[in-house]
Amino acid sequence: MIAQTGRGESSVRILAQAEGNIKQIEDLKGKTVGVASGTTGHVYLIKALKAHGLTTDDIKLINLQPDDAQAAFETKQLDAWAIWNPYYLNNIEKGNAVALKVKGKILAPGAIIARKGFAEEHPEIVEAYLKVYKKAADWQIENPDEASEIYSKETKLPVSTVKTIITAEKPNIFFTEDAIKAQQESIDTLAGVGYIKKPFNFKNQIHNEYIDEAFKK
């Protein structure tokens, strides 16, 4: 781990069919829910269920990658779907989904990783990458309209949708304590359901030497 992309406060939601009978997390009991195993969506779903007194044993969990889950959700083969942006916002704006409210705040931070051997052999490239990444992220924060136009052309998503996504949370490559805690909780959560065979200490896997050298902190 060489950096993070953000705290992940706005990136994942649980969607339900807009015209369905699922109005709250408790209504998921016995329902068919799609999610890509081992992802932030998977962790978010487990944490959300726990916050409302449920577990994945209470639902019919289907392991689906986003594009497959999109098709299944559109054809109503899924009652609900734990997914990240741009999928969740795009479905809400199309009017075929609603996002379920969850008790408390669930963070789903993203991390930037480097292959160990490459990073050790070419630290200067890793540091250069971090500098460019931060420069681009800072530019995006200062120029949301222009950034949204660029992303819209690449993704074919509406400019307004893109702008909502990129302005919901400012990117931040520096690890924060709440993000580290959330990542550790995610590790423990996935280990608890057997997806990760051996839990580990997330903080011990962070290599700050590259970001420290890149920004002389």
- Residue 30 CA: distances (Å) to CA of 15, 27, 63, 89: 16, 8, 16, 25
End position of a domain, from candidates 58, 73, 99: 99
Q: Is residue 120 in some structural domain? A: yes
| Number of domains within the chain | 2
Q: Is residue 116 in some structural domain? A: yes
Give the pLDDT of residue 8. Answer: 82
pLDDT digits (tens, 9 = 90+) for 104-116: 888 888 899 999 9
Residues 30 and 79 occupy one common structural domain: yes
**Of the candidates 107, 110, 109, 114, the residue with the CA atom closest to the CA atom of residue 214:** 114
Q: What is the DSSP string of 12-66?
A: EEEEEETTSS--SGGGGTT-EEEE-TTSHHHHHHHHHHHHTT--GGGSEEEE--H
Residues 44 and 129 occupy one common structural domain: no
Domain that holds residue 125: 109-215
End position of a domain, from candidates 51, 78, 99: 99
User: Using CA atoms, how far apart are residues 203 and 69, in angstroms rounded to an integer?
Assistant: 32
Query: How many other β-carbons are positioned within 10 Å of the β-carbon of residue 154?
Result: 8
The torsion angles phi and psi of 73, rounded to 5 degrees, stand at -70, -40
pLDDT digits (tens, 9 = 90+) for 130-156: 999 999 999 999 999 999 999 999 999
User: Using CA atoms, how far apart are residues 190 and 46, in angstroms rounded to an integer?
Assistant: 9
Residues 15 and 67 occupy one common structural domain: yes
Residues 88 and 130 occupy one common structural domain: no
Residues 130 and 160 occupy one common structural domain: yes
Q: Is residue 5 in some structural domain? A: no
Residues 119 and 189 occupy one common structural domain: yes
The CATH number of whichever domain residue 134 belongs to comes to 3.40.190.10
Largest CA distance in the chain: 55
**What long-range pairs does 193-197 form, CB within 8 A, spacing at least 24?**
193/46, 193/56, 195/37, 195/38, 195/42, 196/38
Give the pLDDT of residue 208. Answer: 94
Pairing mode of beta strands 12-17, 3-6: unpaired
Residues 121 and 95 occupy one common structural domain: no
Q: What is the mean pLDDT of residues 15-38?
A: 96
Residues 92 and 126 occupy one common structural domain: no
End position of a domain, from candidates 99, 133, 166: 99
